[in-house]
């Protein structure tokens, strides 16, 4: 049975069989904003939501060594934050991003994740000790307006869920009013073993570079 995480909860990456979870997907799902319109509300207006799932890899000296985020981010803006061009594959080949989803689910949750990062812990560079996952909204909506947002870890592929290991739901709540990014969680290595911590902290950051700076300043 999948673990339903709560804010601040930390878990070992151990399956019910006792085996370590080493190859898995980290996926984020969200919905487009749908409102009724027209005469008697018989029409439906769908507003696309472009969220971006990103991650940074941090070594044992608290330095960023690698990253995954959208190649669509403008390089000249990234450089203002000391960041390199976006990419979808880590240098060691251990983590891969499926790429941008520019809209979100329409017509309700379709059961699949909109953006996914595949992870092979056995191949991650040995000096990496923390991997932070975060969401930024490329639009102007805040998270209190978005119907739902969820991060989960599961065995399978980006198009097929075989077994869900853990999930962390971030519902549309008042605390997210005015917040346009969320530091969702992190994988971290302790005594040679990988664990996961559900962070779930919303921020007012309007750009990925601000969120990366926040992680470096407040979470390392």
Whether 143 shows a pLDDT value over 80: the answer reads no
Q: What stretches of 51-206 adopt beta strand conformation (E)?
A: 51-59, 64-68, 95-97, 115-120, 128-137, 148-157, 160-171, 181-190, 193-203
Q: Which pLDDT score is estimated for 148? A: 73
Contacts 24+ apart (CB under 8 A), 186-194: 186/130, 186/131, 186/132, 186/133, 186/219, 187/13, 187/119, 187/121, 187/130, 187/131, 187/133, 188/129, 188/130, 188/131, 189/128, 189/129, 189/130, 193/12, 193/13, 193/20, 194/13, 194/20, 194/121
Whether 38 shows a pLDDT value over 60: the answer reads no
CB 24 within 8 A of CB 155: yes
Average pLDDT, integer, range 180-188: 90
Structural domain for 19, as ranges? 3-218
Split into its structural domains, the chain has a count of: 1
Q: Which pLDDT score is estimated for 122? A: 92
CB 168 within 8 A of CB 80: no
Give the number of other Cβ atoms within 10 Å of residue 60's Cβ.
Answer: 12
Q: How confident is the model at residue 144 (pLDDT cuts 50, 70, 90)?
A: confident
Nearest to 98 by CA among 123, 70, 75: 70
Helix (H) or strand (E) holding 209: helix 208-218
Share of the chain above pLDDT 90, in %: 41
- Structure token digits, residue 205: 């950051």
Q: Which residue has the higher pLDDT, 81 or 40?
A: 81
Surface-to-core class of residue 145, CB atoms within 10 Å of its CB (0-12 exposed, 13-18 middle, 19+ buried): middle
Q: How confident is the model at residue 217 (pLDDT cuts 50, 70, 90)?
A: very high
* Greatest mean pLDDT among 15-29, 72-86, 130-144: 72-86
Q: Which pLDDT score is estimated for 40? A: 59
pTM of the model: 0.88
CB 71 within 8 A of CB 61: no
Q: Rounded to whole angstroms, how far apart are CA atoms 126 and 109?
A: 37
Average pLDDT, integer, range 152-178: 80
Average pLDDT, integer, range 148-176: 80
CATH of the domain at 139: 2.60.60.30
Q: Which residue has the higher pLDDT, 87 or 110?
A: 87
């Amino acid at each position: 049975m999948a673990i339903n995480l709560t804010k601040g909860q930390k878990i070992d990456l151990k399956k019910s069989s006792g085996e370590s979870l080493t190859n898995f997907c980290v996926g984020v799902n969200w919905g487009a904003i749908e409102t009724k319109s027209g005469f008697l509300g018989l029409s439906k207006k769908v507003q696309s939501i472009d969220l971006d799932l990103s991650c940074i890899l941090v070594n044992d000296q608290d330095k960023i060594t690698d990253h995954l985020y959208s190649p669509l981010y403008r390089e000249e803006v990234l450089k203002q934050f000391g960041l390199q061009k976006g990419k979808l594959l880590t240098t060691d080949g251990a983590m891969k991003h499926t790429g941008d989803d520019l809209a979100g689910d329409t017509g309700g949750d379709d059961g699949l994740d909109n953006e996914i990062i595949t992870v092979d812990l056995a191949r991650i560079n040995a000096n990496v000790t923390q991997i932070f996952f975060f969401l930024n909204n490329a639009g102007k909506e805040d998270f209190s307006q978005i119907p739902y947002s969820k991060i989960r870890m599961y065995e399978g592929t980006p198009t097929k869920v075989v077994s869900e290991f853990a999930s962390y739901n971030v519902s549309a709540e008042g605390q997210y009013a005015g917040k346009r990014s969320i530091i969702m969680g992190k994988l971290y290595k302790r005594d040679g073993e990988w664990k996961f911590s559900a962070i779930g902290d919303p921020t007012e950051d309007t750009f990925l570079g601000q969120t990366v700076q926040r992680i470096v300043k407040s979470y390392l």
